[in-house]
């Protein structure tokens, strides 16, 4: 019994350094270099033709919360090691499914956000790209009736995609 326990402990001790890897991975799924300590998240600007008055602030606040909860990065107002600048480029409703009578059975709310990401310490990770998320809703509902719930779900999807692209390198 002691022999098996000793072998098990030796195997665990040998495997432990492998779990740490090169020190840039964590159990939250992030892959932030050890020398990166701060992040600046700029307030979200809304340049969409149709404007939801609360969307930019909601996106900004929830993005800050996501980085705060899942990373050890200190959020600073300017000159962070990482910089995230997000702009809402599009906010639109379109038909998602049309019936035989050429009437929309489902409508789709789509939000597109352009993100500029700058890593001051590792510029090879910099990018500028757009992220889009959508939610469908029954066309018998008005957008005003379902907009809040749709936006909450869309914001969650967008933040997950932005977070993964910036610090999870997925």
Write the pLDDT tens digit of every residue in 102-118.
777 899 999 999 999 99
Beta strands in 36-103 (DSSP E): 38-41, 45-46, 74-75, 82-98
Distance from C-alpha of 159 to C-alpha of 86, rounded to nearest angstrom = 10
What backbone phi and psi angles, to 5 degrees, belong to 141?
-95, 145
pLDDT tens figures, 25-43: 444 456 799 999 999 999 9
pLDDT tens for each residue of 44-98: 999 999 999 999 999 999 999 999 999 999 999 999 999 999 999 999 999 887 7
Domain positions in the chain are 36-168
36-168 carries CATH number 3.40.630.30: no
Which pLDDT does position 13 carry in this prediction?
45
């Amino acid at each position: 019994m002691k022999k098996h326990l000793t072998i098990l402990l030796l195997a665990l001790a040998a495997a432990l350094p492998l779990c740490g890897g090169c020190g840039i991975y964590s159990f939250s799924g992030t892959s932030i270099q050890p020398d990166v300590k701060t992040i600046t998240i700029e307030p979200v600007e809304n340049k969409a033709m149709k404007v939801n008055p609360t969307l930019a602030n909601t996106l900004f606040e929830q993005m800050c919360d996501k980085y705060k909860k899942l990373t050890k990065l200190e959020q600073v107002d300017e000159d962070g090691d990482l910089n995230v600048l997000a702009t809402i480029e599009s906010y639109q409703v379109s038909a998602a499914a049309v019936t035989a009578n050429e009437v929309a059975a489902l409508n789709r709310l789509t939000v597109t956000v352009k993100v500029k990401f700058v890593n001051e310490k590792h510029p090879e990770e910099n990018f500028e790209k757009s992220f889009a998320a959508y939610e469908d809703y029954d066309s018998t509902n008005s957008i005003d009736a379902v907009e809040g719930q749709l936006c909450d779900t869309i914001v969650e999807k967008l933040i997950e995609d932005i977070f993964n692209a910036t610090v999870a390198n997925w």
